[in-house]
Every structure is written in C-alpha cells, then in structure tokens.
Amino acid sequence: MLLQTPPHRLSVVVPMFNEEELAHDLIDAVQAALMHYPHPWELLVVDDGSTDETWKRLRQRAQQVGPHIRIIRLLRNFRQTAAMQAGIDMARGDVIVTMDGDLQNDPLDIPNLVDKLLREDLDLVAGWRQYRQDGLFLRKIPSRLANRLIRRVSGLQFQDLGCSLKAFRTSVLRKIRLYGEMHRFIPAWMATVTSPDRMAELAVSHRPRTKGQSKYGISRTIRVLVDLLSIHFFLNFGTRPGHFFGGLGLLVSAVGTLILTYLAAIKWMGEDIGTRPLMFLGFFCIVSGLQFITTGVLSEMLMRTYFDGGQSLAYHTRDLTALDDEAGWYDTP
C-alpha cells in the first residue's frame, strides 16, 4: 500500500521536556519504524529547555544514527505548543507528522497516517486512541469531557482531538501559528484555513508509559476550558472582531436607551426620577455600549495590523546552521 503513496518528503516533529530516560529510545523507535520507508524522511526532536540530561542524550544519539536526526534546543521551557511550532518552522518535508516524546504514540502508525493523508488528498489526518492506556479518573474521563466540549464548540466531529499523533500537509499547517496551549486544538484552528471535509481521523495504537513521568495533570482541564473560549471567538469572529464587540455594544446601548426613555416618560408625567437606581443603570449601559463599540473599532485596527505585518515567534532557539534542502534526509537504500 505504501508503494502507492504519492512521492513526498516526510518530517517527524517531536517535542520533549525532561525525558532523559526516553531520549535514546525515541530516536531508536522512529528509526526502526521508518527504516524501510520508501520516501525521504527526517526526524526533528525539539528539546523544550530540559533541565536534565535530555539534550545531551538526544545529541549523542543523533550523532550516532545519522544527519537525518536533527535536534533543536530551545533556550528555556516555552511549553509544548511553542516547541511544536519550532519544529514545524524548521521542518523541510511536504508532510509533517507530530507526536509526543513519551512513546505512548507508536511510530509504526506514521506510515498509515501519511498514506491516508496523501492518497485521499487531505490536509490533516488525526490519530484516534481507541484504547487509551491511561488512568481512568485523571486522564480518560477528563479527556472525554474535553473532547465532547471541543466538538460542540468547534463543530468538528473528531473522537480524540487530544492525540498528538497527527499528519499534516505542510503548506496548509503553516497557514496557522501555534501559541499558548493551541496544540490541543490544532484541528479547530486548521478549520479556519481549510474545510473540515479535508480532515479525517484514523485509529492508532496507544501504549502505556514505561519510563519517566507524565508532565500533565488534572489542572490541564481548566486550561482546556479557557482555551475553548478563545477557539469559539476566533472561529466565529477571528477576522471580524468589530462585529462581536460592535454588536454587543449596540445591544447594551439599546438597553440603556430604553431605560432612559422610560424614565424620561415618567419624568414628563411628573414623577421624581433623580434618586432611582434605574437611572444610573441606564447611563451605565449607554457608556458601556460606547466602550464596546470603540473596542470593536480598535480590534479591527489591530487585526489589520496583524494580517499586514510580520508575526513574532513564540519561542527562541540557539543559532542553527542552515541545511541544504537536499541534505540530511534518510532515504531507503
């Protein structure tokens, strides 16, 4: 089946943080899984400012395996999303596959994801961990709740949006920028630049963690809920924030106008309105409405600046020697 996959070059991007026990294992696992891959490929491992021996062990193993193993070191811990973006920026393949560095994702699933992506002419194929090897209360249940909320907010009917094992068409992935905690919602952000019909899901293996410790706990559920608000806003008003703030401002101003009109009418009928709290509420609504409207105008101006200007990076890395586009690939002999 893989022989029918259209010609391409593959970049595998893996962020790692304090995973010294898995540094060698990760490189060896990807090398073994793709040793007979029929197209050129490279592995980019991003050390996200580890404070242990992760960087040293990654670099040592990469030198032993070959130049197609590229190690990127961030100057400090910028968190997983920024580390993933660093790898994406430096990847040279036509297809990019992302995966976690804890080896719970199986590198053997990479060819199947890429094959589906290219043969079905898709922009994203996400892994679906049908049988998760994680704890029930701290990982599985929060993940199911989060996926249900994300599906409702984004409209994407993915079963497992939290799986890091995904295959992307590079030209489309680079139309979005990842920052904050956006790596959990890449399919939702991809929906802002491509059709959901060009995204699919494929069942993949999931293995229990055998070494090291998980960097995620129940606290990430709170971050997911906060990020969902951002997703809802950007999916619906990302390119027209003036409509959101302007509409809200007009609504609040209309309420204030109705209140003041009512008070003016009863004042004309001879009643005293000077000490009524309703009058203060009416003026407050008018002022708040004007503030919302002006905020919408300023947001539109900021969005124009954002789209017209350059985009700053969410990470900083050591200076790297630029590779020739044809060098540093592993190609099956």
CB contact at 8 A, 43 and 10: no
CA distances from 118 to 35, 46, 115 (A): 20, 26, 5
pLDDT in tens, 215-241: 555 555 666 666 667 776 776 776 678
Parallel/antiparallel/unpaired status of strands 69-73 and 166-169: unpaired
CB contact at 8 A, 92 and 13: no
3-state secondary structure of 313: coil
302-305 long-range contacts, CB within 8 A, separation 24+: 302/241, 303/239, 303/241
pLDDT > 90? residue 309: no
Lowest mean pLDDT of 114-128, 155-169, 249-263, name the range. Answer: 155-169
Q: What is the average per-residue pLDDT within 253-269?
A: 91
Local confidence band at 311 (pLDDT 50, 70, 90 cut-offs) = low
Please, is 16 exposed, middle or buried when counting C-beta atoms within 10 Å of its C-beta (0-12, 13-18, 19+)? buried
Which residue, 20, 62, 60, is CA-closest to 42?
62
pLDDT > 90? residue 153: no
pLDDT at 2: 46
Quote the crossing angle between the two packed helices 277-308 and 241-268, to the nearest 10°.
160
Local confidence band at 1 (pLDDT 50, 70, 90 cut-offs) = very low
pLDDT > 90? residue 27: yes
pLDDT > 50? residue 303: yes
pLDDT at 196: 85
- Which among 208-222, 256-270, 300-314 has the top mean pLDDT? 256-270
Give the Cα separation of 35 and 332 in Å (integer). 7
Predicted TM-score of the model (pTM): 0.75
Which residue, 47, 107, 56, 40, is CA-closest to 82?
47
Residue by residue, DSSP assigns 196-229 as: GGGEEEEEE-B----SS--S--TTHHHHHHHHHH
Give the pair of three-digit tokens for residue 217: 């706990």
Q: Which CATH class is domain 2-237?
A: alpha beta
pLDDT at 316: 62
Give the Cα separation of 41 and 67 in Å (integer). 11
pLDDT at 253: 93
pLDDT in tens, 66-103: 999 999 999 999 988 899 999 999 999 999 999 998 88
Q: What is the average per-residue pLDDT within 173-195?
A: 82
Positive or negative, the Cα torsion across 298, 303, 306, 307?
negative
| Higher-confidence position of 227 and 251 | 251
Give the pair of three-digit tokens for residue 190: 């991809």
pLDDT at 108: 95
CA distances from 224 to 125, 185, 238, 266, 312 (A): 22, 9, 19, 49, 24
For the chain, domain boundaries: 2-237, 241-308
Give the Cα separation of 9 and 199 in Å (integer). 20
pLDDT > 90? residue 189: no
Give the pair of three-digit tokens for residue 86: 């660093």
CB contact at 8 A, 166 and 126: yes
pLDDT at 50: 94
Q: What is the average per-residue pLDDT within 205-220?
A: 66
